[in-house]
Amino acid sequence: MTIHGNTTGLAPSDVHALERLYRRRVPFDRLLTPELARSMAEVSSTTGRQVGVLVDRNGAVQWVVVGDARKLMLPDIGRARAAEGRFRGLRLIHTHLTQEGLTRDDLVDLTRLRLDLVCAICLGTDGQPITVHYGHNVAVADGRRDAPYLTFGPIPYGREDSVDPSTLVTELEESFASIARTRKVDGKDGRAILVHVTDKKQNLQQAEDSLRELEELARTAGVAVVDRVLQVRDAIDAKFVLGRGKLDEIVLKSMALDATVLVFDRNLSPSQASSIAGVTELKVIDRTQLILDIFAQRAESRDGKLQVELAQMKYLLPRIGQKDDALSRLTGGIGGRGPGETVLEIGKRRARDRVTRLEHELEHLAVQRKQRRQRRGRRDVPIVSIVGYTNAGKSTLLNTLTGSETLAENKLFATLDTRSRRIRFPREREVVITDTVGFIRDLPKELFAAFRATFEETEDADLLLHVVDVSDPAIGDHIRATEHLLNELGLGTKPTLLVLNKADRLEPGDAEQIARGRGGIAVSAMDRESLRPLLVEMESRLFPDGKTRLVDDPKSSYVGELAPLGDTDGELLDDEVVVGAAE
């Protein structure tokens, strides 16, 4: 008979008294019995500590726990009966040394462990039971933010017999199961609570913008966001990132909103992710994992898939040690006896071997891309690369400029693979326009390293079109993030034209005023006619040999009929658009 919890300093007589609690029985239709209440009160009064028992539905005491004067620390009780719509099949009965009701710790244990109910026996100054408090979980329907529990008390000790836990728990489980069957599933990959923790150095508006961006990332990944939590602290907690009290509040929210995932708007260390998951029993992912998941869903080309896998392997490699304890066992059997590699070491070695193989495959594909660029360079065709923050409208701009139909969605990272198309200006002057993967602030280093090859096309560009969403409140942060990443890629000195897209979302004239202040051009990628100033500027920069045809003939239509290209030497140049054709 094991006594769990804070057993340090207990006298032998106290230990024997605690062990005798295992002999007590509490029928399922009784909240507690006088014998159990008196025995627990006696030990609690003698030791000055809270004492608790976990009782199953057969009435048997399964665990005896001793804490300190303020709280209990429950042992790991496993996951029995913890399926959706069912409770744990255990109830917690414990003492309180004061007349306080159920504490937040009690309610967190009730909801997180899905206990049948929690009962607190409050003791008087003489150590005798005075009052009783109890609480139980309640089913919360979609769209409601009620607390996921109900509490009752104080009830004078000896008058709690009117409570029948067997009937109560049975009805509650039926209610939970009914809501689970009819609950609307609005996220194919779960329901998430977003968490942003910052210190007082960060501007609150920046924190809100970052949290809003995280919500867009979650939506793109297929996760339904049910709540957002923003906490400002003096310093980030080294173990849990946020405060333990706030973490307990999130556990209660997760029960009320049926959330299954916590998404942190920062990168978590392996130990932080493990600690948070251990306390909340929720799936915990960080910002890098979320972005990697989006990339994995959307990569189409062989290059893209290999780059995503490489980024995932580099991210997971230092986290392999956080797996199950079984990984630490030595391999056995014939040929595996002795001080050989552990399973954990074998897993790490295989992961490193896979990283090396992926890097070699990507190097081979890089050679092929270089050969294609060299063939294009021999034809002396100018290259324009579209770069910018994710979801700024880069793919839509490519489609409108070239008449193509590449994927363009109102989601982050809709484009992961480089796509090139060709347009023809007057006087038979051709231009290749390339769309690239979008940037994002604090781009994970694993992704930055893996997708560096994606921007080889941009290295040969004669002009960069830096596209930004002019309607986004964080436009300044987006421009700075893009410029920072371009500098990291060694592209900061390339000729660049700032394109302020989505001008139609602002009041007339506002986008043009912002563009003048930033030295750019305001456009709406959905409106072909609004692109005329952009094409004029592109032509003047790419062919600085006199006046442009588009300026000479402002009434001309700048997009003509699609014309087949013929052999493209393996390049992704599917369409040609004639610029400046007369109406």
Domain boundary among 150, 182, 214: 182
In a domain, 372, yes or no: no
Q: Are 14 and 87 members of one domain?
A: yes
DSSP labels, 542-562:
H--SS--HHHH-TTS-S---E
Backbone angles phi and psi of 195, in degrees to 5:
-130, 125
In a domain, 375, yes or no: no
The pLDDT tens digits of the residues spanning 362-374 come to 778 777 767 766 6
Residues 6+ apart with CB under 8 A from 325: none
Q: How many Å apart are CA 235 and CA 198, to the nearest integer?
A: 8
Sign of CA dihedral 59, 63, 68, 72: negative
Q: How many Å apart are CA 398 and CA 560, to the nearest integer?
A: 15
List the chain residues with pLDDT less than 70: 78-85, 140-146, 179-189, 320-346, 369, 372-379, 404-418, 426-428, 444, 446-447, 449-454, 456-457, 545-583
Q: Are 350 and 461 members of one domain?
A: no
Q: Are 177 and 196 members of one domain?
A: no
Structural tokens at position 464: 């960069």
Structural tokens at position 180: 């689970």
Angle of CA points 54, 60, 65, to nearest 5° = 30
Q: Are 31 and 131 members of one domain?
A: yes
What is the number of other CB atoms lying within 10 angstroms of the CB of residue 468?
A: 24
Cβ-count burial 478-505 (b if 16+ within 10 Å, e if not): bbebbbebbeebebeebebbbbbbbbbe
Cα–chain center distance at 288:
8
Q: Are 176 and 195 members of one domain?
A: no
pLDDT of residue 333: 40
Q: Are 430 and 529 members of one domain?
A: yes
DSSP at 393: S
- Asked if residue 154 has a cis previous peptide bond (ω within 30° of 0), the answer is yes
Q: Are 264 and 307 members of one domain?
A: no
Sheet with 224-233: strands ordered across: 224-233, 191-199, 261-264, 283-285
In a domain, 290, yes or no: no
Sheet with 51-56: strands ordered across: 3-5, 61-66, 51-56, 90-96, 117-123, 129-137, 149-156
Q: Are 313 and 234 members of one domain?
A: no
Domain boundary among 285, 311, 337: 285
pLDDT of residue 331: 38
Q: How many Å apart are CA 240 and CA 74, to the nearest integer?
A: 19
Q: Are 354 and 398 members of one domain?
A: no
Q: Are 553 and 457 members of one domain?
A: yes
In a domain, 374, yes or no: no
In a domain, 583, yes or no: no
Domain boundary among 139, 161, 182: 182
In a domain, 367, yes or no: no
pLDDT of residue 564: 32
- What SS3 state is found at 420? strand
Q: Are 251 and 156 members of one domain?
A: no
In a domain, 369, yes or no: no
pTM: 0.67
pLDDT of residue 161: 78
Structural tokens at position 243: 């405060």
In a domain, 370, yes or no: no
Structural tokens at position 367: 């050679």
pLDDT of residue 373: 63
Q: How many Å apart are CA 311 and CA 334, to the nearest integer?
A: 36
Considering only CA atoms, which of 488, 277, 474, 499 is closest in space to residue 388?
499
Give the H/E segment covering residue 156. Answer: strand 149-156
Considering only CA atoms, which of 74, 125, 133 is closest in space to residue 98?
125
Considering only CA atoms, which of 174, 269, 282, 273 is closest in space to residue 223?
282
CATH code, domain with 525 = 3.40.50.300
Which range of residues forms the domain containing residue 107?
Answer: 3-182
pLDDT of residue 415: 57
Q: How many Å apart are CA 14 and CA 17, to the nearest integer?
A: 5
Half-sphere exposure of 311 (CA within 13 A, CB side): 27
CATH code, domain with 213 = 3.40.50.11060
Q: How many domains does the chain have?
A: 4
Cα–chain center distance at 100:
38
Angle of CA points 520, 554, 420, to nearest 5° = 55
DSSP at 438: P
**Exposed/middle/buried for residue 427 (C-beta within 10 Å: 0-12, 13-18, 19+):** exposed
Q: Are 81 and 175 members of one domain?
A: yes
**Exposed/middle/buried for residue 393 (C-beta within 10 Å: 0-12, 13-18, 19+):** buried
Angle of CA points 34, 150, 73, to nearest 5° = 65
Q: How many Å apart are CA 168 and CA 160, to the nearest integer?
A: 14
